[in-house]
Chain A
Amino acid sequence: MSASLEAAAPEAATATEDDAPLYAARRKIYPIAVHGRFRRIKWTILIVTLGIYYLLPFVRWDRGPGAPSQAVLIDFPNRRFYFFFIEIWPQEIYYITGLLILAALVLFFMNAVAGRIWCGYLCPQTVWTDLFQAIERLVEGDPRERREKLKHASRGQRAFEAAAKHVLWLMVAWWTGGAWVLYFADAPTLTMQLLKGQGPLVAYAWIGILTFTTYVLAGHMREQVCTYMCPWPRIQAALTDEYAFNVTYRYDRGEPRGSFKKTEALKLAGLPGGDCVDCKQCVAACPTGVDIREGAQLGCIQCGLCIDACDAIMTKLSRPAGLIAYDTEMNVRARQEGKPEQYRVLRPRTLLYAALIVVIGGIMVGTLATRSSENVAIIHDRNPFFVLLSDGSIRNAYTVRLVNKELVERRFSIAVAGVPEARVEVMGEPKEGGLPVVTVGPDQTTEVRLLVSTHTRLPAAASLDVDFTISDLATGASASARDHFKGP
């Protein structure tokens, strides 16, 4: 009996551990401000990327009369996408697909080199959160000041500061939504319309939606988006390997941690003494609340701010910087065991990703540079397939769509090959040199009805291959398409 009681005790202990709730309430994170190399890189990226995002719609690009003069414009009503000198039609959506594939490959490549640096530096979630946290520190002060205020400042002052912070956040969020809609219409015109309250309803709706999402995601959700919502951390974990650089606490050098005095004394005595003074600045600087000294972990977005925080301490203590650094767990262990370090940036996966990026990028540039600025598409009449005329000849009708991607009006002749003794006619269009000629406006398509008839007797149920070729009368540039000529 007593034996069983004794046995029950440890069991109960493990049971409570297993029963611990799966849900952990969120601890709000107020990171301290840090200064250093990675912080500077992050500020630069923040200013450049947000600068591009907010200002790009106002950049002008002259495309001549009748065409929009906005450098980057997604023109839904006219179904065009403009990017500086490139104009993309809906049927060329594969360029966008190519861009997405390239984007994915670049992401994989970055991951193979240095883990989640996308998350730490470039991801919009990170950039906006960084900005919102900077605003928070500006208005309410550093975490230390915050704690002081919580104790000493009047309720009124705290409420005022909180309100100011939220107003500033909302203004940034609103500007974010505002910039978004400017990509879909002429930016200066739309800005004036919006200011006068005469903008289209859909613009206001999108500004509202994006104001809301920016405010909530960057102001309130923050690191929870990275930890719980975003699929990339899961995907990248499956793509990474042991050679990828990660923000790493070099415990080979840091442990055993202890106060400066204690570790110096240990070192003097020739005993092992680590460089980490357990000041916890790395934890205080972390925007996701991670203690990097516990090793690589899900919450870490590779932003490098803990590196800056720790380097500042190490410099003050005249110890070498880089106790936390971009390194690999493998190398930390190697150093500890006195084995040589291994750094391999050139590995099969980085080379493969780089090669794919070059190949796909090359294909895209190649096709973009050599794409034709005219096109023709044919639809054969299906009902009826053919018509018998009173003189006994057979006629087929086609709907022909001519595409002119140039910004000037062009005239195309249409030649038909493959039908013996063909008579070709385009309803309502003139003929020149025996061929029908169709005028297509600048950057437009024109649909015409084309009739081909022949006197020649065809074998029963004949189906002839027919080639339709359109040629620019001025430049001779041509495009063709194939369809059939059917007989009874």
Chain B
Amino acid sequence: MAEAHHNEVDAASGVSTTGHEWDGIRELNNPLPRWWLWTFYACIAWAVAYWVVYPAWPMVSSYTSGVLGWRSRDAVQVQLAGLRAQRAVFAEKLEAASLDQIEQNPELLAFARAQGRAAFGDNCAPCHGAGAGGAKGYPNLNDDDWLWGGSLEQIHATITHGARSTDDAGHQGNMPAFGTDGILQRPDILAAADYVRSLSGLPPAPDAQIAKGKEVFEANCAACHGPEGKGNQELGAPNLTDGIWLYGSSRADIVADITHGRGGIMPAWGGRLDEGTIKALTVYVHTLGGGK
């Protein structure tokens, strides 16, 4: 039945029909518009040319590379090179300038802070937090308490060489494990903890033995933390008289510190980041607010 309609001409439009019919509705056999057809042919030609010119077909272990030899990896390299060239002007200035000079020059300072912020997010934020707010065991870099010193030079050295890191020039110094290594007995540790808490005016426990603790402190701890507990930045020994506690200020926390020892690790970034980036990081950390 459908065949019968084939090439039948529709009366109203004067166009032949395709022979397809649905419930009496017949499909007109209008030709495609010419512009559409040519666009279609042009697309096919384009696609063929594309196969020839650009990488296209996957092979067993490689692909057809195209006569232009274009590779996406090279394109990225070119863009990266462009980016580096764009940054070079300031990056070179950063490398050449001293840390003080950077802080004096508003333009350079703004650039260093921006670059430092980005580099901080990439490299430092996993431990110190995105805003450098720190966490238990990871120092808050916004405050004014510095384990290894808060001057520009000291921060720069800490970032470059790290602390207790693989770099021999890095900071060394450990809090011994007085309890697990059998240096002190439990009652002495408790007494020392109570004494340490008293240094910063924290309220004493009811059974606190401050006097005994002082004896223990002077015999074991003062060597590093100083006779008054003010700490020693050469050794990374924290100041025990201020309000800032890296591992917590409760009696249990401090007892744990003395018993098991402490020694957080800051990696050395010297070999991994270029000097300009380290300077930028230094300036950024320094201007977070606590720099000395």
**Smallest distance from the beta carbon of A227 to chain B beta carbons, Å?**
19
Q: Check A21 against B243 for contact (C-beta < 8 Å).
A: no
B239 within 8 A of A: yes
Q: A16 contacts which of B11, B106, B109, B287 (Cβ < 8 Å)?
A: B11
Which one of B53-61, B136-144, B161-169, B259-267 is at the interface? B136-144
Q: Check A21 against B13 for contact (C-beta < 8 Å).
A: yes
Q: Check B103 against A428 for contact (C-beta < 8 Å).
A: yes
Chain B residues contacting A384 (CB-CB under 8 Å) are: 129, 131, 133-134, 140, 142
Also in contact, A449 and B287, with CB within 8 A (given A384-B131, A387-B143): yes
B9 within 8 A of A: no
Q: Check A383 against B103 for contact (C-beta < 8 Å).
A: no
Q: Check A390 against B145 for contact (C-beta < 8 Å).
A: yes
Q: Mark B143-163, 1 if CB is under 8 A from A, else 0.
A: 111000000000000000000
Q: Mark A1-32, 1 if CB is under 8 A from B, else 0.
A: 00000000000000010011100000000000
Q: A451 contacts which of B145, B239, B289 (Cβ < 8 Å)?
A: B289
A268 within 8 A of B: no
Chain A residues contacting B131 (CB-CB under 8 Å) are: 381-384
Look across to chain A and name the residue whose beta carbon is closest to the beta carbon of B143: A387
Chain A residues contacting B142 (CB-CB under 8 Å) are: 384, 387, 395, 397
Q: B243 contacts which of A19, A382, A391, A427 (Cβ < 8 Å)?
A: A391
Q: Check A383 against B144 for contact (C-beta < 8 Å).
A: no
Q: Check A19 against B12 for contact (C-beta < 8 Å).
A: yes
Chain B residues contacting A382 (CB-CB under 8 Å) are: 131
Chain A residues contacting B110 (CB-CB under 8 Å) are: 447
Q: Check B130 against A383 for contact (C-beta < 8 Å).
A: yes
A171 within 8 A of B: no
Q: Is the interface of A mostly helix, strand, loop or mixed?
A: loop
B228 within 8 A of A: no
A67 within 8 A of B: no
Q: Check A390 against B289 for contact (C-beta < 8 Å).
A: no
A392 within 8 A of B: yes
Chain B residues contacting A451 (CB-CB under 8 Å) are: 289
Which of B17-76 touch A at CB < 8 Å? none
Chain B residues contacting A428 (CB-CB under 8 Å) are: 103, 106, 109, 287
Q: Check A388 against B289 for contact (C-beta < 8 Å).
A: no
Chain B residues contacting A449 (CB-CB under 8 Å) are: 287, 289
Also in contact, A387 and B239, with CB within 8 A (given A20-B12, A382-B131, A428-B109): no
* Bound-complex Cα distance A389 to B242 (A): 8
Q: Check B133 against A383 for contact (C-beta < 8 Å).
A: yes
* Bound-complex Cα distance A51 to B12 (A): 51
Q: A390 contacts which of B103, B133, B243 (Cβ < 8 Å)?
A: B243
B244 within 8 A of A: yes
* Bound-complex Cα distance A447 to B117 (A): 14
Look across to chain B and name the residue whose beta carbon is closest to the beta carbon of A382: B131
Chain B residues contacting A389 (CB-CB under 8 Å) are: 143-145, 243-244, 290
Look across to chain A and name the residue whose beta carbon is closest to the beta carbon of B239: A390
* Bound-complex Cα distance A25 to B290 (A): 78
Q: Check A383 against B13 for contact (C-beta < 8 Å).
A: no
Q: Check B11 against A390 for contact (C-beta < 8 Å).
A: no
* Bound-complex Cα distance A19 to B11 (A): 9
Which of B233-284 touch A at CB < 8 Å? 239, 242-244
Q: Check B11 against A392 for contact (C-beta < 8 Å).
A: no
**Smallest distance from the beta carbon of A467 to chain B beta carbons, Å?**
21
**Smallest distance from the beta carbon of B129 to chain A beta carbons, Å?**
6
Also in contact, A16 and B244, with CB within 8 A (given A397-B289, A428-B287): no
* Bound-complex Cα distance A447 to B242 (A): 32
Chain A residues contacting B134 (CB-CB under 8 Å) are: 384
Look across to chain B and name the residue whose beta carbon is closest to the beta carbon of A393: B243
**Smallest distance from the beta carbon of B36 to chain A beta carbons, Å?**
15
Which of B199-257 touch A at CB < 8 Å? 239, 242-244
Which of A359-415 touch B at CB < 8 Å? 381-384, 387-392, 395, 397
Chain A residues contacting B130 (CB-CB under 8 Å) are: 383
**Smallest distance from the beta carbon of B177 to chain A beta carbons, Å?**
26
Chain A residues contacting B129 (CB-CB under 8 Å) are: 383-384
**Smallest distance from the beta carbon of B199 to chain A beta carbons, Å?**
13
Q: B289 contacts which of A16, A20, A395 (Cβ < 8 Å)?
A: A395
Q: Check A21 against B242 for contact (C-beta < 8 Å).
A: no
Also in contact, A390 and B242, with CB within 8 A (given A384-B140, A384-B142): yes
Look across to chain B and name the residue whose beta carbon is closest to the beta carbon of A449: B287
Q: Check B12 against A16 for contact (C-beta < 8 Å).
A: yes
Q: Check B287 against A427 for contact (C-beta < 8 Å).
A: yes
Q: Check A427 against B239 for contact (C-beta < 8 Å).
A: no
Chain B residues contacting A383 (CB-CB under 8 Å) are: 129-131, 133
**Smallest distance from the beta carbon of B6 to chain A beta carbons, Å?**
20
**Smallest distance from the beta carbon of B109 to chain A beta carbons, Å?**
6
* Bound-complex Cα distance A20 to B145 (A): 89
* Bound-complex Cα distance A392 to B144 (A): 11
* Bound-complex Cα distance A449 to B109 (A): 12
Q: Check B287 against A390 for contact (C-beta < 8 Å).
A: no
Also in contact, A391 and B242, with CB within 8 A (given A383-B129, A383-B130, A383-B133): yes
Chain B residues contacting A387 (CB-CB under 8 Å) are: 133, 140, 142-143, 289-290
* Bound-complex Cα distance A451 to B110 (A): 17
* Bound-complex Cα distance A20 to B143 (A): 84
* Bound-complex Cα distance A143 to B110 (A): 69
Q: Mark A423-458, 1 if CB is under 8 A from B, else 0.
A: 000011000000000000000000101010000000
Q: Check A388 against B244 for contact (C-beta < 8 Å).
A: yes
Chain B residues contacting A21 (CB-CB under 8 Å) are: 12-13
Chain A residues contacting B144 (CB-CB under 8 Å) are: 389-390
* Bound-complex Cα distance A451 to B289 (A): 7
Which of A316-347 touch B at CB < 8 Å? none
Also in contact, A388 and B143, with CB within 8 A (given A16-B11, A21-B13): yes
Chain B residues contacting A395 (CB-CB under 8 Å) are: 142-143, 289
- B: residues with CB less than 8 A from A are 11-13, 103, 106, 109-110, 129-131, 133-134, 140, 142-145, 239, 242-244, 287-290
Additional A-B contacts beyond A389-B144, A391-B242, A397-B288 (14; CB < 8 A): A16-B11, A21-B12, A382-B131, A383-B131, A387-B133, A387-B142, A390-B239, A390-B244, A391-B243, A397-B289, A427-B287, A428-B106, A428-B287, A451-B289
22 contacts between A and B (CB under 8 A): A382-B131, A383-B129, A383-B130, A383-B131, A384-B133, A384-B134, A384-B140, A387-B133, A388-B143, A388-B244, A389-B143, A389-B145, A390-B143, A391-B242, A395-B142, A395-B289, A397-B142, A397-B288, A428-B103, A428-B109, A449-B287, A451-B289
- A: residues with CB less than 8 A from B are 16, 19-21, 381-384, 387-392, 395, 397, 427-428, 447, 449, 451
Shortest beta-carbon contacts, A-B, top 10 = A383-B131, A19-B12, A384-B133, A390-B242, A387-B142, A392-B243, A390-B145, A427-B287, A387-B143, A21-B13
